[in-house]
Amino acid sequence: LRPTAGTIPRLSADQSPTPFRRRSRQPFPSACSILRRIKAGRPPASSFPPSPSANGPENGSASFPPPAPGISAKDVYRSPANYGRAEFSAASSSNSLAAPLPPAIASPESSAAPHFSTSHSAGDSAGSYEGFPAPPSALPPLREFTSAELQAATGGFARAIGEGGFGKVFQGRMMLPAGESCATGASSSATGGEMRECEVAVKVMNGKHVTRDLTSFKAEVAALSAVNHPNILRLEGVALDTAQGPVLVYELISGGDVKCFLKRVRQGEVHFPWRDRIRVALGCAEALAAIHTRNLVHRDFKSSNVLLREDLTPVVADFGLARTIDDWKTHVSTKVVGSMGYIDPIYFQTGQLSQKSDTFAFGVFLLELMSGCCPLSAQYQELRQLIISKDLPDPLLVMDPAIEGEWARKPVLIAFTLVRYAICCNWKQRPPMSVMVSKLQSIFDEIETSC
C-alpha cells in the first residue's frame, strides 16, 4: 500500500494483521520438585517445556520413559544411572556433566546379563529407554554387575588395595569376555561365549556424602563411557543395587602409579630411564588429547592418577571430577577442586575451568618426570619459580641426577620449553594437548633413533 500525500493508509478487514502472541514461558522445574515426583511414582513429563519426540505424543509434549519391568519408582529414584532426562536437564543449568547413561533393562525372565547398551539403531530400543542419548556406538557394552557377583569376585570385599576421598578400591577376579585384556589365562565357554577369568579393581563409593558421591559416580561413568583409548583406564561395568553403594568395576593395573614409582626411584630401589619417562609422558598426553576432543576436562590429572602396566605403559585413571565444556565455550565457571600442586592458578583464583587447566597439570607432571621431584617439595617449588621467572641459568639443571648421561641436550631443551609454556600463567600461551603430543612424539622418535 502506497500512501498518498497527506493521507494515512488504512487496512481493510481482510488485510488486518495477525495479532502478536507472546510465546508462553513455562517455568523450569527445580531438581527437588522433579525428585519428589519421581519418588511418588509420577512422571514429571508435564512439568517440562514441549520438545519433539520421535516416539512421544503427536502434539510434541515431552515424554518420560516408563519404568522397566521389575523396576519400581523407588528404584528409579534411588539408582543414579536411572535418573533419566528429567534430572540431567534440571542439572544442566549448573554446567553439570549432562550425558546420562541409558539404564539397564532386563526382564525377570531373561537369563542374559544386564548391561548398559552403547550401540543403538533407530528401531532398536533393547537395553535403553527411548529418549535417552546414546553413547558412541564404537564402544563395547557396559555391563551391570549384581551384588552377588561382586561378593564372589572380591571374596566379600576382603582385600582392599586403595582408599581415597570417594571410597575404597578392592581387588577381585571375575569372568569377562575373552576379547578384553586380562591378567590371567583361565578361560571358559560355559555361558555360550568365550570367557576369561580376569583381575579387576572394584571401586566402592563410601556414601558419606551422597550428593557428591553420586555426582562423581555419574561423571566418571559418563567420561569413561565416552572415550575408548589404550592409555585410559577401561571401565568394565557398574553395580547400582548393592549394600555398599554405587560400585565401579575397572581393569586392574598392577604396576602401581607414577608417584609411588618415582618415590622408589628416589630411594634407589628401581631405575626409570629417560626413554621410558618420555614414553609415559607421551601416553598421558595422548589420553588427555583424546578426552579433550570429547569436550571433557579431567580436572584432577596428577602422577598418582597415572597407573603403570608391567611394561611401564601409562594408564590415566580417576575421572570422578571430570567436566564437560560445550563446543562454543572456552571455559566454564565452577567450584575449584583438584590436588595441590597441580591446580591451575587461573582456575584457582577465578573459578574458570578450561582444557588449558589440564595442560597446566600436565606441565607439572612433565617437570616431575624430568626432575624426579615431588610437586609439593621445596626443591620442586623453587625450581618451578625459577622456570616461570626465567631465572634458571641452564635448563639442563632440571634433570634428575638418577638419569644423568642418558639424555641429549636437544630433546631436553624441547621438553623444558613445553614445561615452561604449559605452566605459565596465561591460557593463550599454553599449547593444546595435541601440540604436546606432536612435540613429545618427536622427542621420543629422536631418542629411539639415537639408541
Q: Which residues are catalytic?
A: 300
Distance CA 303, CA 368 (A): 8
Q: How crowded is residue 234: how many other Cβ atoms within 10 Å of its Cβ? A: 16
Closest CA relative to residue 227, chosen from 180, 144, 291, 304: 291
Distance CA 170, CA 114 (A): 22
State the burial class of residue 411 (Cβ atoms within 10 Å of its Cβ: 0-12, 13-18, 19+).
buried
Cβ-proximal residues to 424 (8 Å cutoff; 6+ apart), any chain:
388, 430
Cell triple for residue 325?
A: 565444556
Amino acid at 265: V
Closest CA relative to residue 43, chosen from 104, 93, 84: 84
CB 73 within 8 A of CB 35: no
Cβ-proximal residues to 220 (8 Å cutoff; 6+ apart), any chain:
235, 248, 318, 319, 320, 322
Distance CA 246, CA 174 (A): 18
Q: Apex CA 177: angle with CA 172 and CA 182, to 5°?
A: 50
The DSSP result for 79-103, as a single string, is -GGG-HHHHHHHHGGGT----PPPP
3-class secondary structure, 249: strand
Buried b (16+ CB within 10 A) or exposed e, 171-200: bbbbbbbeeeebeeeeeeeeeeeebbbbbb
Distance CA 40, CA 186 (A): 47
Ordered alpha helix ranges (H), 79-189: 84-91, 147-154
Ordered alpha helix ranges (H), 57-177: 73-78, 84-91, 147-154
Q: How crowded is residue 429: how many other Cβ atoms within 10 Å of its Cβ? A: 11
3-class secondary structure, 344: coil
